[in-house]
Structures are given as structure tokens and as C-alpha cells.
């Protein structure tokens, strides 16, 4: 098993999402064009696949339930979108 990774998901002004490995949450510096930043434990590919197969309801990076290719009301994308699985 891989260690869970902490990542920062950044929504840029352009609307693009990127993710960045975070070693120290306190020290993460968001890029200058960041509109939103969410820091969370990155799910494994297996977890993401299970969500889709199980009930099709997936988790956004802020924890909200969303469609696999969805964005929650707070603007947070699903992990599938961020990780390029969809
Ligand atoms: Zn949300």
C-alpha cells in the first residue's frame, strides 16, 4: 500500500485545476493566480473506481458529493476531474 498523499488542489483564474504535493500544510504557498485552494488527502485509484461502480456518487476535493465529472456548489471539482480519470 502506498502512503496517503496530501495534495493541494488549486483552481486557477483560467478555470484550470492543478494538484500539488504538500509536505507541510502550514507552508504551502498557493500560486499567484489561484482562486481557490483545497488541501486534502488524495484518494487512491481504487477508491475512486469503487465510488463510480458503487453508486456513481463521488467526492469533491472539499468532501461534497458530486457526479464523477462534477463540480460542487463551492466550486470544488471531483477527484476524478482533478486526477484526469474522467
Ligand atoms: Zn463543496
Residue 1 scores a pLDDT above 80: no
For ligand 1, a single-atom ion, which residues have Cβ within 5 Å?
Answer: 62, 64, 72, 74, 76
pLDDT band for position 86 (cuts 50, 70, 90): confident
Residue 66: count other Cβ atoms within 10 Å of its Cβ: 22
Q: How many domains does the structure of the chain reveal?
A: 1
Query: CA 29, 32, 36: angle at the middle one, nearest 5?
Result: 75
pLDDT score at 76 = 97
pLDDT tens, 34-77?
Answer: 999 999 999 999 999 998 888 889 999 999 999 999 999 999 99
Domain that holds residue 58: 5-82
Centre of ligand 1 to C-alpha 81, Å, is 14
Centre of ligand 1 to C-alpha 31, Å, is 21
Amino acid at each position: 500500500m502506498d502512503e496517503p498523499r496530501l495534495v493541494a488542489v488549486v483552481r486557477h483564474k483560467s478555470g484550470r485545476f492543478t494538484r500539488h504535493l504538500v509536505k507541510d500544510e502550514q507552508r504551502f504557498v498557493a500560486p499567484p493566480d489561484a482562486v481557490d485552494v483545497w488541501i486534502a488527502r488524495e484518494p487512491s485509484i481504487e477508491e475512486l473506481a469503487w465510488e463510480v461502480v458503487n453508486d456513481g456518487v463521488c467526492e469533491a476535493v472539499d468532501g461534497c458529493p458530486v457526479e464523477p465529472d462534477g463540480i460542487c456548489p463551492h466550486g470544488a471539482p471531483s477527484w476524478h476531474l482533478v486526477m484526469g480519470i474522467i
